[in-house]
Amino acid sequence: MLTEEILKDALHYGKAFTKLGKTAQYIPQLKEVNKYYLGVCAMDLDGMVLEAGDTRVPFTIQSISKLVSLILAIRDCGADHLFHEKVGVEPTGDPFNSIVKLETRTRPFNPFINAGAITVASCIKGKDADEKFGRFLEFTRKLCDNDAIELNHPVYESERATGDRNRALAYYLKASGILEGDVEECLDFYFRMCSVDVTAHDIAHMSLVLANHGADPEDQEELIEPQYAKAIRALMLTCGMYDGSGEFAMTVGFPAKSGVGGGIAVPLVDRMGIGVFGPALDEKGNSAGGIKILEYLSNKMDISLF
């Protein structure tokens, strides 16, 4: 059984690796974060909450938002349309912001690389970016069980000001007939969804919903259909850590979704949700200390999926 002592040991083990990583460098708000922050929160289905380290320090959700938008898009467009017409479900082995496969394969490989996530964002219903973001924020709050979650405006402004690579992806997708609707509006929503502040505690709760087959752990309200919660966990395992997904499966063996803000969301089905925060990233853009915490927990408790 997981105890606070094990979690503290895992944190201690992970701490040594924070100095090897670097915060995301592309915008000042991420670059200037203290890279030694590290925290882990675990919640189980009986209501147990364990925390160690910096679990209440806010950070931007970044690519972990791709879980929320994917659920909304499945609801809005249907999984058949989304996974047959818009995005694939295969890992790329390329960096998250890569453009190289778009010309040869047209459809983005999966919903977690930027090209895929921008496509998924275009499938969410709403009359404009404001309405779409309103729905996104409301659903994020629900998944995290935290009504205080808000947009981080300076991060959003910086994402928008520096997002030319995402713009390139989006216009290419529009030219290929994959992305429908207004490109700038879709990008505006995408930049906003990446710029929402969360904590490791929030992300643990979001993970717990996925671990609980898509049902709210408090009142069992179905937030995601069980079959899609299962599909998303599978996608997290194969694609959630980008071109580090294979190694992560070997060394840790958990479904996980990372973000360049330093967060990692981990749903362990029927067991618990884990949220990790450590802004020092490895060369793939995943939390260096966070991965080590998860590796420690997987080995210590012998709970790798494999």
Residues labelled as active-site residues: 63, 66, 190, 242, 260
Q: Which residues contact 109 (CB under 8 A, 6 or more apart)?
A: 87, 88, 90, 91, 92, 101, 115, 116, 239
Interface with ligand DON (CB under 6 A), residue from 17, 59, 83, 96? 96
Q: Provide the token pair at 187.
A: 């990008």
- CA dist 160 and 178 (Å) reads 22
CB of 96 to ligand DON, least distance (A): 4
CB of 225 to ligand DON, least distance (A): 26
| Nearest CA-CA partner of 171 in 155, 156, 182 | 182
Q: Is 212 in the site for ligand DON (CB under 6 A)?
A: no
- Residue 41 β-bridge partners: 51, 275
Q: Is 259 in the site for ligand DON (CB under 6 A)?
A: yes
Answer yes or no: is 212 a known binding residue: no
Q: Is 114 in the site for ligand DON (CB under 6 A)?
A: yes
| Nearest CA-CA partner of 67 in 299, 263, 294 | 263
Interface with ligand DON (CB under 6 A), residue from 39, 267, 273, 285? 285
CB of 10 to ligand DON, least distance (A): 21
- CA dist 160 and 170 (Å) reads 13
CB of 5 to ligand DON, least distance (A): 31
Q: How many residues does the chain have?
A: 306
Q: Provide the token pair at 229.
A: 């919660």
Answer yes or no: is 299 a known binding residue: no
Q: Does residue 244 contact residue 286 with C-beta atoms inside 8 Å? A: yes
CB of 261 to ligand DON, least distance (A): 7
Of the candidate spans 36-44, 71-79, 253-261, 289-297, the one that interacts with ligand DON by CB under 6 A turns out to be 253-261
- CA dist 236 and 135 (Å) reads 23
Q: Is 159 in the site for ligand DON (CB under 6 A)?
A: yes
Number of CB atoms found within 10 A of residue 172's CB:
18
Of the candidate spans 2-10, 51-59, 77-85, 256-264, the one that interacts with ligand DON by CB under 6 A turns out to be 256-264
Of the candidate spans 130-138, 168-176, 206-214, 255-263, the one that interacts with ligand DON by CB under 6 A turns out to be 255-263
Q: Is 140 in the site for ligand DON (CB under 6 A)?
A: no
SS3 42: strand
Annotated binding site: 63, 114, 159, 166, 190, 242, 260
Annotated binding site for substrate: 63, 114, 159, 166, 190, 242, 260
